[in-house]
Amino acid sequence: MQEESTTHLNKILNNNITLDQINRFITDNQKELPDSGIFSEYMAEHPEFTPTLIYKNCKGLFSKSYIYEILSGKKKNPSRDITITICIAANMDRKMTRRILENYGHRDLYPKDKRDIIIATYINNKNYSIDTINDELAKYNLRTLGSKT
């Protein structure tokens, strides 16, 4: 069964669903658990991106074991920022980044959020340097990737 688009589900939710249809709507449309093999699939399609290279590209922002646990699927709920950082470190395009974020239940990069605009622009321009992106974020006094606050 093909998954319904969020736009379509929002239309149903906002206009057509009645109180007695709640249970059916939830059953039909609830999100499955995250696909913990999604990073493994990407790396299989892009063999140049090994766990070691992705860790190296993360510039020491997270421990090696933590990155490996996420990439292997053992860690099932990485934060949005960690997910974005790994996507950048693996040189993922916007489409794949969106797919990964959605897989883990995170919102996509939002075009009305200054921080997300900067990150998306760097991804769209295939500039995957975490240091360069963080310099740009800092220039606007925005939280950098890998920062705690």
- What is the pLDDT, as a whole number, of residue 1? 44
What is the SS3 string spanning 11-56? HHHHHHCCHHHHHHHHHHHCCCCCCCCHHHHHHHHCCCCCHHHHHH
pLDDT at 106 over 90: yes
Closest CA to 122 of 104, 97, 147: 97
pTM here is 0.78
Tens of pLDDT, residues 28-79: 776 555 676 889 899 999 999 999 999 999 999 999 999 999 999 888 889 9
Contact status, residue 63 vs residue 50, Cβ threshold 8 Å: no
**Is the pLDDT confidence value at 149 over 80?**
no
CA–CA dist 144, 125 (Å, integer): 19
Confidence of residue 2 (pLDDT cuts 50, 70, 90): low
